[in-house]
Amino acid sequence: MSLKLRWCDMGYISLDFRPAITKAELAKLRKLAADMEVGQHLSITLERQDAHQADEILNILRENNYNCQTKGGHSDDDFFIKAKKED
């Protein structure tokens, strides 16, 4: 399955990496993160079993000046990263 990208509203993008995270999807994230403007937000969802791969996602975001927060979901299946691009 491919990365699901949803434009929620002005400056807010939702990415769904379920069911698996691939190198191609990480490359898409790297490009998107670089192209976004200051003040825009990303909401990223991945399966809890893939949370060990969150470090790679967080590194991409931090390299592009994002302030990031991680959170487990209400169900036992999801893991979330909320990020905002800073100056």
Nearest of 10, 44, 7 to residue 29 by alpha carbon? 44
65 falls within a domain: yes
How far is residue 83's CA from residue 78's CA, in Å, rounded to a whole number? 16
Domain count, the chain: 1
58 falls within a domain: yes
69 falls within a domain: yes
31 falls within a domain: yes
Nearest of 31, 39, 40 to residue 7 by alpha carbon? 40
46 falls within a domain: no
Q: What pLDDT score does 78 carry? A: 87
Q: Is the pLDDT assigned to residue 5 strictly greater than 90?
A: no
Q: What pLDDT score does 1 carry? A: 42
77 falls within a domain: yes
Whether 82 contacts 71, CB under 8 Å: yes
78 falls within a domain: yes
68 falls within a domain: yes
Q: Which helix (H) or strand (E) holds 28?
A: helix 23-35
Q: For 7-17, how does the pLDDT look when each residue is reduced to its tens digit (9 = 90+)?
A: 666 678 889 99
Q: For 8-59, how does the pLDDT look when each residue is reduced to its tens digit (9 = 90+)?
A: 666 788 899 988 888 999 999 999 999 999 999 999 999 888 878 889 999 9
Report field, pTM of the whole predicted structure over 0.75: yes
How far is residue 7's CA from residue 81's CA, in Å, rounded to a whole number? 16
Nearest of 85, 55, 86 to residue 70 by alpha carbon? 55
Question: In which domain, by residue range, is 68 found?
Answer: 4-41+51-85
